[in-house]
Structure 1
Amino acid sequence: MRFTKDHEWVSLDGDVATVGITAYAAEQLGDVVFVETPDVGKAVKSGEGLAVVESVKAASDVYAPLSGEVVEANGALGEAPETVNAEPEAGGWFAKIKVADKAEYESLMDRAAYDAFLETL
């Protein structure tokens, strides 16, 4: 699993990356009440908006940590957005992306680097 400074996580399986927000991000948002996932087939570039998550505190964009094409969206979040809070780094994932360049994955932070980053906030 790798992480971004915007608090997204990525898990890579072959050339398909699963993307979600970190436990830290879910905690900062508070209770998630709505999630908008991307359409399957959408082309995304690293750093662009991928999904939207709304909580009782705020609405936030979830950014694509990698470039590629959305091959699956977690439609279950539409009926159970609270899954993002309950399982942010597991069942609360937003989308799966067929990765265009695996080198982008390697450039992201590992868990130790992300934890060190959190200590600076």
Structure 2
Amino acid sequence: MTTRYTKDHEWVRLEGDIATIGISKYAAEQLGDVVYAELPAAGKAFKQGDDMAVVESAKTASDVYAPISGEIVEGNSAISGENWQIINDEPEAGGWFVKVKVSNEAELDALMDEAAYADYVKGL
């Protein structure tokens, strides 16, 4: 199971035709303490690069962009239940945002692997 990253600090992990999506550890650190997150409803479809969710911290609000095209099949109930701290505590594990039924797996090829993302973040 490979994790891919966008330049906007979203990650995507594909299992079969379902992708789990969230924000990177770097993004969570830059945001600071998350105080709110708004996730899309199941059934909503997105194209790669579309605004998909919103995350707010004491510092700022940020859009979360779809790293891959598809339809939402599940939102993270932990986040929906106002347990926003999980985004800071486990951004690349339990703090995932949504699961998506992927419509174009080839889009993953345009994203960075973990090593390339680590190099990208070092340059910021």
TM-score (norm 2): 0.95
Inter-partner Cα distance in structure 1 for 2:61 and 2:77: 19
2:121 — aligned with what?
A: 118
- Retained in 2: the 8 A contact 1:37–1:75? no
What is the DSSP-based 3-state SS (H/G/I as helix, E as strand, rest coil) of the residue aligned with 1:5?
Answer: coil
Paired with 1:112 and 1:26, the residues of 2 have a C-alpha distance of: 19
State the match for 1:90 in structure 2.
Answer: 93
Which one of the candidate residues 14, 17, 27 is aligned to 1:15?
17
Structure 1, gaps ≥5 residues long: none
Match of 1:53 in 2: 55
Unpaired segments ≥5 residues, structure 2: none
Distance 1:30 1:6 in 2: 16
Structure 1 residue corresponding to 2:111, chosen from 108, 113, 121: 108
Q: For the aligned residues, what is the CA RMSD?
A: 0.7
Q: Percent identity?
A: 61
User: In structure 2, what is the equivalent of residue 70 of structure 1?
Assistant: 72
- Taking structure 1 as the reference length, the TM-score comes to 0.97
